Amino acid sequence: MRVDRIRELETYLQRKESATLPELCDYFNVSLNTIRRDIKVLQVNGRVTKVYGGVLYNPDDAVVPVHDRSHKALPEKDHIGSLAASLVEDNDTIYLDSGTTTLHMLPHLKQYKNLTIVSNSFLVYNEMQHHPEISLFSTGGLYNHKTKSFVSMGAVDNLKDIRISKAFMGATGVSIEQGATNNSFHEAQIKKAVVKIAQKVILMADHSKLDVTAAVCFSSLANLYAYITDTRPPQELVEFFKNNNIKLLY
């Protein structure tokens, strides 16, 4: 499976520190286009750096922190955030994950009455603490300094008794075959727990996340209520959403 191959690719590069593309094609017995797509998955999470004709492995301290990722694709994220906020209603209890795209919803949420926000993101609380009219609920758990979010099984357990009307989530990768995927095991466990309890799940991802598969699947695309992106997706995805009665906004 592709997910297994990507894990093996990361292990191989961690051991070798660098490799050429032909070397990787030979080792994994795949085409050049396939190995490039696999490398793209590792690039998204900051695990590798692509160089001419090859790839370099990044150690753990080279993973891109959330405050650096938050400055990428700002116009696209602003657009997606605005569209996502339009699905919120008065009296909703919504979940916002720790992805940078969901942060762009925040300026548009202050208009709603009796709104409750549940999140594992420190940045969400830091921004919304100045709006006492909005109720905030923290998942708790162990704090991750790089992602500025709370993770661990304690955070998952704290979600069990909450009634979430709409969950807004980002993803590292999106595909029909592999679903919505993420490279952090702990973040993915929280996302999975939210998918189980939320009445409606809304996935937010710009075009660069398409045809990318990260390490852990947290939801099938068929589970979605809506998919929000910045440009019209490929026709295959458009038809998939139509056939499964999933809202598509872009």
Q: What is the pLDDT of residues 184-214, one digit of tens each?
A: 877 888 999 999 999 999 999 999 899 888 8
Average pLDDT, the chain: 89
Give 75 or 135, the one with higher predicted confidence. 135
Fold observed for domain 2-62: Arc Repressor Mutant, subunit A (1.10.10)
Beta bridge partner(s), residue 174: 180, 210
Query: Above 90 in pLDDT, residue 171?
Result: yes
Q: Which amino acid is at 178?
A: Q
Q: Which amino acid is at 66?
A: V
Query: Above 90 in pLDDT, residue 145?
Result: no
Structure tokens at 162: 């909450």
Contact 35, 28 (CB under 8 A): yes
In the chain, residues under CATH classification 3.40.50.1360 are 68-249
Structure tokens at 8: 């093996």
pLDDT tier for residue 27 given thresholds of 50, 70 and 90: very high
Domain 68-249 part of CATH 3.90.1150.10: no
pLDDT at 199: 98
Alpha carbons within 13 A on the beta-carbon side of 245 = 1
pLDDT tier for residue 236 given thresholds of 50, 70 and 90: very high
Q: The whole model's pTM is what? A: 0.73
* DSSP states of the chain: -HHHHHHHHHHHHHHHSEEEHHHHHHHHT--HHHHHHHHHHHHHTTSEEEETTEEEEPPGGGSPPHHHHTTSSHHHHHHHHHHHHTT--TT-EEEE-SSTTGGGGGGGSTT-SS-EEEESBHHHHHHHTT-TTSEEEE---EEETTTTEEESHHHHHTTTT---SEEEEE-SEEETTTEEEES-HHHHHHHHHHHHH-SEEEEE--GGGBT---SEEEE-GGG-SEEE-SSPPPHHHHHHHHHTT-EEE-
* CA gap 176, 197 in Å, rounded: 22
pLDDT at 59: 60
In the chain, residues under CATH classification 1.10.10.10 are 2-62
pLDDT tier for residue 62 given thresholds of 50, 70 and 90: very low
Weakest-pLDDT range from 85-99, 140-154, 230-244: 140-154
Query: Above 90 in pLDDT, residue 22?
Result: yes
pLDDT at 61: 47
Q: Please give the biggest Cα pair distance in the chain.
A: 59
pLDDT at 56: 81
pLDDT tier for residue 63 given thresholds of 50, 70 and 90: very low
Nearest Cα to Cα of residue 189 among 153, 163, 162:
153
pLDDT at 67: 53
pLDDT at 214: 85
Give 186 or 101, the one with higher predicted confidence. 101
